[in-house]
């Protein structure tokens, strides 16, 4: 599978909440921002994210692939129920970007280095 | 010039504070996070950054190129003099990542979409 197709299939898996398919994309020993989550921890993080943000949808805004790396700019329009990144959102609608790098080895994501635009969210809730 | 060489030359230009060469890399109509800075505004932003952070050095940690896009993960170890991203740093040493996408057209950067890991900085100054 070419890398772009692989990545869009991964994003589709997240948007369908198809957690049982996550192992097709995430390696058993995957790391997320330096944390050795593994597949099970990664899955738990996503389930928690969707619990906090029921209308969470991943939209790919920019995608750059050069094996073994993928870089994506994801855009979110959502309404976290309580706190998000330590900010009291309490159901307000916010929009923000996540710029994220993935390392892919043997056909699965082994490392994720993600930065969420917290400053943009702070500016929105200060309005 | 291949894209990686172009990008490393741009980063070298920044680290040398070679502001007179910036126009080799940044287009006259460049945008930065949605702001229509142009080359002159981009240059002013960088000069201000270096005034606030004299030991600012750009280190490329990850680089993904697929024309017309470049994605880079930059790492910074520095000591902002006063405030940075609205946080009172006051000369403390901090380390953080910037995940950034660039659009390159006609051999120059026309659009920059950058996210700095503010949450990581907050965690460091809360220690």
The pTM score is 0.96
Quote the radius of gyration of chain B (alpha carbons, Å).
Answer: 15
* Residue A4 near chain B (CB below 8 Å): no
What are the b/e assignments for A104-120, b being 16+ CB within 10 Å?
Answer: beeebbbbbbbbbbbbb
Residue A85's closest chain B neighbor by CA? B119
- Mean pLDDT, chain B, whole residue set: 97
**Three-state secondary structure call for residue B101:** strand
Residue A68's closest chain B neighbor by CA? B64
* Residue A101 near chain B (CB below 8 Å): yes
* CB pair distance less than 8 Å for A64 and B65: yes
pLDDT value of residue B127: 67
CA distance B16 to chain A (A): 27
Quote the radius of gyration of chain A (alpha carbons, Å).
Answer: 15
- Mean pLDDT, chain A, whole residue set: 97
pLDDT band for A60, please (50, 70, 90 cuts): very high
* Residue B49 near chain A (CB below 8 Å): no
Residue A119's closest chain B neighbor by CA? B118
The residue-averaged pLDDT of B109-126 equals: 96
Residues of A in contact with B97 (CB under 8 A): 113, 115
User: Cα B65 vs. chain centroid, distance in angstroms?
Assistant: 17
User: Cα B114 vs. chain centroid, distance in angstroms?
Assistant: 8
Tens digits of residue pLDDT in A61-115: 999 999 999 999 999 999 999 999 999 999 999 999 999 999 999 999 999 999 9
pLDDT for B67 beyond 80: yes
The residue-averaged pLDDT of B32-49 equals: 97
Tens digits of residue pLDDT in B79-113: 999 999 999 999 999 999 999 999 999 999 999 99
CA distance B47 to chain A (A): 21
* CB pair distance less than 8 Å for A113 and B70: no
pLDDT for A51 beyond 70: yes
pLDDT for A7 beyond 90: yes
């Amino acid at each position: 599978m070419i890398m772009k197709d692989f990545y869009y299939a991964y994003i589709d898996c997240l948007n369908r909440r198809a957690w049982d398919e996550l192992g097709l994309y995430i390696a058993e020993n995957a790391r997320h921002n330096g944390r050795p989550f593994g597949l099970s921890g990664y899955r738990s993080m996503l389930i928690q994210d969707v619990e906090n943000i029921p209308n969470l949808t991943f939209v790919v805004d920019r995608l750059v692939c050069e094996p073994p790396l993928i870089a994506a700019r994801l855009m979110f329009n959502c309404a976290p129920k309580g706190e998000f990144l330590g900010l009291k959102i309490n159901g307000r609608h916010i929009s923000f970007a996540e710029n994220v790098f993935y390392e892919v080895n043997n056909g699965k994501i082994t490392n994720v280095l993600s930065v969420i635009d917290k400053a943009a969210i702070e500016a929105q809730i200060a309005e």
